[in-house]
Structure 1
Amino acid sequence: MNATQNLILVAIILGFAAAEFISGRYRDFHATADDGKLELFMFVSLVAFTQPFIFAVVGKAGELWFPQWRGAWAGLPWWMMAAILLVGDDMTQYWWHRVSHTPMLWPLHRAHHTAHYMSLRITYRNNFFYYLMMPGLWVSGALIYLGFGDVYLAYVIVKLTVIMGAHSAVRWDEPLYRIKALSPLMWVVERTISTPATHWAHHALTNTDGVGHYTGNFGNLLFFWDVLFGTAHITRRYPEKVGLQDDLIFGKERWFTEMFYPLLRSRREHSALTPGGKIYAEAEADAGAPPHAAQRG
C-alpha cells in the first residue's frame, strides 16, 4: 500500500508543481538554500521513514498483543470507515496543530511557518519530531491494522489534494469567489475544507490587517473543525506577506536546527529553538493580539 500511496503522492505533487510553474507563481518564492534543504529532507524523511516506521511499529504491536484484531473492522461500510478516519486522523491533527501553537510544542511546528512564501513545497515543512509524535499517524496505523487499508488509501488521496491545494501558490479558490452564482456553493466549501484563503491567513506575517489569523484556521482536510471549535476566520482575502516577524529581525534559523531541534539548538538571540530561550514578543502582542501570539517564535 505504501508504494501505491507514494506513487499517487508524486502524481499529486507533479500536478500542483506544474500549475505553479505554468502560472509563473514560482518566481515569487525567493527561497534560500536552507529552505530547499529543509523542505526536501523533511519530505523524504516523512515518506521514507516516519510514516513507514509508525505503521510498522503499530502493526508489530498488534501482531504481538492483539493478533485477533487484525482486519477485525474490514467489514465496515466504506462511509463508516471514512467517518472514523476523519475523526481519528483529521480531527486529532486539528488538535495536534492547535496545541503546536502553544509555547511547549511551538518549536516542533515553527519550521512550517518560517517559509516566506506559499507553495505546495512547504506542505510537509516541519520539525522531524512533529510528525513522529503526531497522534493521527499512530491512529491511522491502528485503523489500517483493523482493516481500513483500501479506504485509507482513498482517504489519503483526497486529503493530500486538499492540503496541497491549500498551501499551493496557485490560489484555486480566488477566481471562484468572483462568480456570483457560485457564492452559495463557496460559502459551503470554505466552511468544509481548507482553502488557500483560509490557510494562507494562518501563515500570515501579521494579524493586524484583518486577514491574517495565525491563532486559528488550524484545519487540514476539514476546515469544519475550525468552525466547530471556534477558531475559524473567513475573509476570502489573502495576506500580503507570510512568515515570522522574528526571522525578519534576527535572521532565519539554520535548516538543520529547525528540523532536528531539540537534538540541535539555536544560538540566535530571541529563539524558540533553545530550552529556556527568550522568545521574541511581537509588537502585536502589546497591541492586544491573543497572548499566544507572543509565543510564535
Structure 2
Amino acid sequence: MSSHMEHALIVACILGFAAMEFVTRRYQATVRGRATANDAWLEVLMFISLVAVTQPIALLGSNALCKWLIPAQQNAWADLPWWAMTGLLLIGDDLTQYLWHRASHTPLLWPLHRAHHSASYMSVRITYRNNFFYYLMMPGLWIGGVAVYLGFGPVYAAYLVVKLSVIVGAHCAWPWDAPLYRIRALRPLMWVIERTISTPATHWAHHALTNADGIGHYKGNFGNLLFFWDVLFGTAHITRKYPAKIGLQDDVLFGAEPWTAQMFYPLVQSKREHSALRPGGAAVTEMEVDRTASAKQEAA
C-alpha cells in the first residue's frame, strides 16, 4: 500500500464516521452544546501535534536507533508472510497499547491520559484527545518504527488503516453496532465481533461517568483494535448498552480543567484545588462524589 493511498483511506475513514454523526443527528444531539472552546483547542492541537510532531519523532527516532544499534537488520524481515507480520504487529503494537492504556488508569500515569476522559461526549473528535506525553511515551509507536525498519512497511500501513477504522468507529457519536444487535440473525456474528474488536457499546462503557448503572466500566474495556485483550485478561464488560452520561466526576463537581494543563502536564499544571494535574493531587472517586452530593442535600 502506498503512503498516498494509506493517507487517503485514513482521511476517508474519519470523514465517513464524522458524516454519519451528522446524518444521524447524533453530533447535534450529543456533542453540540456540550463541547466548549476549551475542548476544541485540546482536540485540534492534540491531533496536529500527534501527526506533525509525535509520530514523526517516534518513527524517525526508532529508525535512527535501529540504524545505530542493528544496522544490518534493515528490511531483514521483509520476506515474512503478511499474516506473520500482522500477528507481530498485534502483539508489538496493539497488545502493548492495551497494557499502556491499562497502566494509564493507575495514579502514576493517569494525568497523562485524563484528557481523553474529560470530554462529556463521544465523537470522532475525541479519538486522539490526550496528553502530549501520553503518545510520546507510548511503546507501540516506537515499536511500529522498528517494524518499518525491519521491512513491515506495506503491511504496517494496511494495519494502521484497519486499526484506525475500528478506533474511530468505537468513539463515534453514531453507535454503528446498535442496529446490528437488534437483528436476530446477526446475534451470533455480533457475539464474536464484540469479543474481537472494540465497538461503541464496549468502548463507551469505558468513558462512562459512573459505574453505578451496571453499564459503565471505566476500570476496564481498555482494548484499542482488539477487544480480545480485555476478554483474555479479564477486564471485559459487555452489556450491549450505552451509558447515559460520559466524562469525569471531578469535572462535574469542580469544572473543566484548562486545555493547557490537560495537554502539557506536567509542564503546565492545574490551579484547581481538587485535581490530578498538580503535584500531590488525585482524581475524585465516585464515593467522594456521593458524599459531596449528600452533604449538599443536607445543607439545602
TM-score by length of 1: 0.94
Residue 51 and residue 4 in structure 1: after superposition, are their counterparts in 2 closer, same or farther (change >3 A)? farther
What does residue 219 of structure 1 align with? Answer: 223
What does residue 204 of structure 1 align with? Answer: 208
Query: Residues of 2 paired with 1:207 and 1:282: CA distance?
Result: 9
Q: How many correspondences in the alignment?
A: 287
What does residue 39 of structure 2 align with? Answer: 35
What does residue 24 of structure 1 align with? Answer: 25
Query: Residues of 2 paired with 1:153 and 1:181: CA distance?
Result: 34
What does residue 11 of structure 2 align with? Answer: 10
Specify every segment of 5 or more residues in structure 1 that has no aligned partner in the other structure, as ranges. Answer: 288-297
What does residue 241 of structure 1 align with? Answer: 245
TM-aligned CA deviation for residue 52 of structure 1: 1.1
Query: Residues of 1 paired with 2:189 and 2:288: CA distance?
Result: 35
Query: Residues of 2 paired with 1:260 and 1:224: CA distance?
Result: 32
Residue 147 and residue 261 in structure 1: after superposition, are their counterparts in 2 closer, same or farther (change >3 A)? same
Q: Does 1:131 align with 2:132?
A: no
Residue pairs, 1:251-266, within 5 angstroms: 251-266=255-270
What does residue 280 of structure 1 align with? Answer: 284
TM-aligned CA deviation for residue 49 of structure 1: 1.0
Q: Does 1:110 align with 2:118?
A: no
Contact 2:6 2:158 in 1 (8 A): no
Superimposed CA distance per residue, residues 104-128 of structure 1 (whole angstroms, 9 cap, x where no aligned partner): 0000000000000000110000000
The alignment partner of 1:212 has SS state of coil
The alignment partner of 1:57 has SS state of helix
Contact 1:205 1:242 in 2 (8 A): yes
Query: Residues of 2 paired with 1:265 and 1:65: CA distance?
Result: 37
Superimposed CA distance per residue, residues 32-63 of structure 1 (whole angstroms, 9 cap, x where no aligned partner): 00101101110111111101111101111222
Matching residue's letter, 1:127 = N
TM-aligned CA deviation for residue 9 of structure 1: 2.1
The alignment partner of 1:125 has SS state of coil
Contact 2:6 2:157 in 1 (8 A): yes
Matching residue's letter, 2:62 = V
Matching residue's letter, 1:140 = G
Contact 1:42 1:127 in 2 (8 A): yes
TM-aligned CA deviation for residue 281 of structure 1: 2.9
Contact 2:249 2:289 in 1 (8 A): no
Q: Determine which of 119, 123, 139 is the counterpart of 1:119.
A: 123
The alignment partner of 1:107 has SS state of helix
Matching residue's letter, 1:196 = P
Moved more, 10-19 or 90-99: 10-19
Query: Residues of 2 paired with 1:231 and 1:278: CA distance?
Result: 23
Query: Residues of 1 paired with 2:226 and 2:171: CA distance?
Result: 14
Query: Residues of 2 paired with 1:122 and 1:112: CA distance?
Result: 7
Q: Does 1:58 align with 2:58?
A: no
TM-aligned CA deviation for residue 279 of structure 1: 3.6
Q: Determine which of 41, 46, 52 is the counterpart of 1:48.
A: 52
Moved more, 104-113 or 51-60: 51-60
Specify every segment of 5 or more residues in structure 2 that has no aligned partner in the other structure, as ranges. Answer: 292-300
Contact 1:208 1:284 in 2 (8 A): no
Q: Does 1:181 align with 2:185?
A: yes
Superimposed CA distance per residue, residues 60-102 of structure 1 (whole angstroms, 9 cap, x where no aligned partner): 1222221100000000000000000000000000000000000
What does residue 190 of structure 1 align with? Answer: 194
TM-aligned CA deviation for residue 285 of structure 1: 8.8
Matching residue's letter, 2:233 = F
Query: Residues of 1 paired with 2:231 and 2:20: CA distance?
Result: 29
What does residue 272 of structure 2 align with? Answer: 268
TM-score by length of 2: 0.93
Moved more, 278-287 or 30-39: 278-287
Query: Residues of 2 paired with 1:284 and 1:79: CA distance?
Result: 49
Residue 121 and residue 60 in structure 1: after superposition, are their counterparts in 2 closer, same or farther (change >3 A)? same
- Name segments (4+ residues, structure 1) moved above 4 Å: 1-4, 284-287
Query: Residues of 2 paired with 1:132 and 1:87: CA distance?
Result: 19
